[in-house]
Structure 1
Amino acid sequence: MPRRCSFKLEIGFPQPLAGVDEAGCAPLAGPVVAAAIILDREKFPRGIDDSKNLPLETREALYAKLVKCASWGVGVATVEEIDSINIYWARMLAMTRAVEALGIEPAWVLVDGNTCPRWQRPSKAIVDGDAKCRSIAAASIIAKVTRDRMMVELAGEYPGYGWETNRGYGTPAHQRALREKGPTPLHRRSFAPVRAIEAQWAQPQLPVIEIVPAESFESHPPQFESAPIAGTQDVVLVPSQPHAF
């Protein structure tokens, strides 16, 4: 049975201690969302785990409890920022904004991953922290639920791409819709699949020409009649009437 995350890695860090995680680095569309949270070790909901390991209903239930019993903040980096500074730095930007949104300055910050943002605060990166550290796991739940809700809302503005279920990830159905409908303003053009499809859509569309078999045409040779030229006995042949071919 897999070991659940705990406070074990957090022991020894001064309080208040914030956990930080992000959701939405890999999708082809939508923002990247980060969350920061400061848990009360004496009062927190049971069952906190990496959001990827939790069913939708459990994530939603834990989210509802966490926002009531903890200090938390959310940071967002937009699609424009992702395309401008790349997804790595957009992720760092979202995490920085999440900590700033806490409203209080944590004594230490534990970040999921192998790198911390370039901020002037004590912090430590923990690889797979969302599966090991309870505070980071709680942040992953806040970030995931927040972004999922955003994508459901955005699906109403840009229907046909399936964001209400795929959350912007590059599923086969999403990529098929991209090819058929083209990218939206919320697709990440710095991502290769979107960039390739946009290039195809940017090419001029040639008119469709219907090819008709030659045997379907009837032969209509032009009919000629003689027309004398004044002052000569010569004749030239001129069409008696125009013909369409």
Structure 2
Amino acid sequence: MANTVRKGHPLWRFDRQQLRTSQRPAIIGVDEAGRGALAGPVVAAVALISTDTYENAAFKRQSKAINDSKQLKAAQRDEQFALIADWMEQGWVRVFPGIGSVAEIEELNILGATRLAMGRALEALQMELQTFDDEHGELLNGAASMQRLPQVLVDGKPLKPFRWRHEAVVGGDGKSLAIAMASIFAKVTRDRMIVDLHQEDSRYGFDQHKGYGAPRHLAALREHGPSPHHRSLFLRKLELPKNNATQTELF
């Protein structure tokens, strides 16, 4: 994976600069996967990295491979997912997913479901922190001095409304180590969920395109109509068969 190791470790440097400027005890990176797909849930993840972990020489060395999940091949993401899992076992990082279902995407639209997934991931992290440190668990939702809060960095534009205090970083998965880690965890988690959907219904080739609008996927939709795993809001502009029995049953 030498091609993913960047000279000077800029993602690590970005986070360290954030910590120095804000004088916070940790950074929480937040990102999502699956926002633009035609099928399957949207999956978010949060990754908490403390100041002590950033100063850990072994972590600094090993984390040089971490990058925006979109810049990595599937095998590289799987390797880095395993590396993150190992860091979790060592107590260096805390990472949690959150899911917005297809039904919630239909009800809330994709932005609302993405906020919901991110909020669920943050809530899971807060519960973990309360298990080990009630004080910081309470601090996570902004109940005390801002200087004592972990700094929450979300990839993209500010989320409104959103109950969690955060700072938006456009292109953050290519700038921040914590956000990039969250992006990898969200992407691999979602990909594995979509492969499981393929085991249930292989007509659409979910294992190949992970629910995105690839030509094979569009052709299968025109042949079979949508499944319960498809997002009807995302299919409105597609020329799908009007008299397809499967489609009629679903809508």
For 1:186 and 1:204, the matched residues in 2 are separated by: 12
Which runs of 5 or more residues in structure 1 are unaligned? Answer: 206-245
Residue identity opposite 1:64 in structure 2: A
What's the CA shift for 1:55?
1.4
| Divergent runs of 4+, >6 A | 202-205
For 2:241 and 2:41, the matched residues in 1 are separated by: 19
For 1:161 and 1:37, the matched residues in 2 are separated by: 32
* CA offsets 1:43-66 (integer angstroms, 9 cap, x no match): 253311100001111111111111
What's the CA shift for 1:182?
1.1
Work out which of the residue numbers 169, 180, 185 in structure 1 matches 2:228: 185
Work out which of the residue numbers 29, 33, 37 in structure 1 matches 2:47: 37
2:58 pairs with 1:15: no
TM-score by length of 2: 0.75
For 1:56 and 1:86, the matched residues in 2 are separated by: 28
2:74 pairs with 1:56: yes
- Residue 124 (structure 1) aligns with: 167
Pairs aligned (count): 205
- Residue 240 (structure 2) aligns with: 197
Q: How does 1:140-179 map to 2 (within 5 A)?
A: 140-179=183-222
Q: Higher relative CO (CA 8 A, sep ≥ 6), structure 1 or 2? A: 2
Q: CA RMSD in A?
A: 2.5
State the secondary structure of the residue aligned to 2:46.
strand
State the secondary structure of the residue aligned to 1:111.
strand
Work out which of the residue numbers 86, 102, 105 in structure 2 matches 1:79: 102
* CA offsets 1:111-168 (integer angstroms, 9 cap, x no match): 0011235344331011000011111001000000000011111101011101001000
- Which one has the bigger helix percentage? 2
State the secondary structure of the residue aligned to 1:38.
strand
State which drifts further: 6-15 or 129-138: 6-15
Residue identity opposite 2:12 in structure 1: S
2:140 pairs with 1:134: no
State the secondary structure of the residue aligned to 1:125.
strand
**Pair member with larger Rg:** 1
State which drifts further: 62-71 or 194-203: 194-203
TM-score by length of 1: 0.76
Conserved 8 A contact 1:96-1:117: no
2:5 pairs with 1:5: no
Which runs of 5 or more residues in structure 2 are unaligned? Answer: 88-92, 130-136, 141-149
State which drifts further: 83-92 or 105-114: 105-114
**% same residue:** 39
What's the CA shift for 1:68?
2.6
